[in-house]
Amino acid sequence: MKTLVLANQKGGVGKSAVATLLAHYFAQHGQRVLAIDFDHQGNFSKPLRTSQRAAVATFTADMLMTGNVPALPHSHFMLVPSDRALLGLERQPTQHTPFARSLRAFLAAADAQFDVCVIDTNPNPDIRLIAALASADFVLSPIQLNQEALDGVTALLNHERVGIRKIKAILNPKLQLIGLLPTMVEATPFQKANFVQVIQHYSTLMIPIDSQPGNFARIPRRSAIAEAQANGEVLWEMKKTAAREAWKETEPSIARIASIVTGEQTKEAEHAVAA
């Protein structure tokens, strides 16, 4: 099982929307998917629950860290949903190491039953994010193309507690940064200029879709994506023309990321992280 964590300490950048698209995409392509929602806001749980595509575990995501959980039933698409109890974990610092160990043991036990685990995280640099990154294979960082988000990239790599360099060095050397995924991309001159700026500054962290220079993975801003998220619909099954167009623009990026996670292709931004 390959574990992918969606992470960015910035709120509202599209982590949960991308997690949802990826979870459905993996399931649709025959992967056995375990979805875990570590955000008490539940914006990954809600659309998956509403879609009725995923079986919902009888326990919640906080319990993966706080205690023994029963074995998961045999389902090809399983959601371990969010709960408000996730908020309390950070306030138990003496338990943080056991929490991270407990999650690692759970993922190890689920290894034979699933091909891919997608973990959505909260935007605070707390024990939930640390525990997820400490046991993951891959991390993907959705970002928005504004100055604040660009400044946030430094924190993503270098934050003293949850920075990817720190996690790799201390907790999890196998963690690979797939890269930055610009989301809610619009064709405004301002965003185009910022896209060029991101590419110039962080070209090694971008995710090439193909061999065409400058063709990097990105998610456009489309109301159909927000609607799919709000209504628990699968974007590519929505009837509206606008949804079909949104999926046409989004699919190459989602397919590329999925192929990296399942190991069909490799791309690491590792040299940039190691530098």
Ligand X SMILES: Nc1ncnc2c1ncn2[C@@H]1O[C@H](COP(=O)(O)OP(=O)(O)OP(=O)(O)O)[C@@H](O)[C@H]1O
- Interface residues with ligand X (CB under 6 A)? 11-17, 39, 41, 43, 123, 183-184, 219, 221-222, 225-226, 229
Instruction: Judge whether 48 and 19 are in contact, CB under 8 Å.
Output: no
Least distance to ligand X from the beta carbon of 219, Å?
5
Phi/psi at 48 (5° precision): -70, -40
Is 16 near Mg ion (CB under 5 A)?
yes
Closer Cβ to ligand X, 43 or 172, answer by number: 43
Segment holding 138, helix H or strand E: strand 138-144
Partner from ligand X, Mg ion, none binding residue 168, C-beta < 5-8 Å depending on class: none
Is 9 near Mg ion (CB under 5 A)?
no
Least distance to ligand X from the beta carbon of 124, Å?
9
Least distance to Mg ion from the beta carbon of 262, Å?
23
Least distance to ligand X from the beta carbon of 139, Å?
14
Look at the alpha carbons of 110, 112, 114, 119 in this order and tell me if their dihedral is positive or negative. Answer: positive
Residue 124 burial (CB < 10 Å; 0-12/13-18/19+)? middle
- Stretch 37-56 residues interacting with Mg ion (CB under 5 A): 43
Residue 241 CB: number of other CB atoms within 10 A? 9
The two tokens of residue 222 are 């489309």
What is the spatial order of strands in the sheet that 116-120 belongs to? 55-56, 77-80, 33-37, 116-120, 2-6, 138-144, 176-183
Partner from ligand X, Mg ion, none binding residue 63, C-beta < 5-8 Å depending on class: none
Closer Cβ to ligand X, 102 or 141, answer by number: 141
Is 102 near Mg ion (CB under 5 A)?
no
Partner from Mg ion, ligand X, none binding residue 219, C-beta < 5-8 Å depending on class: ligand X
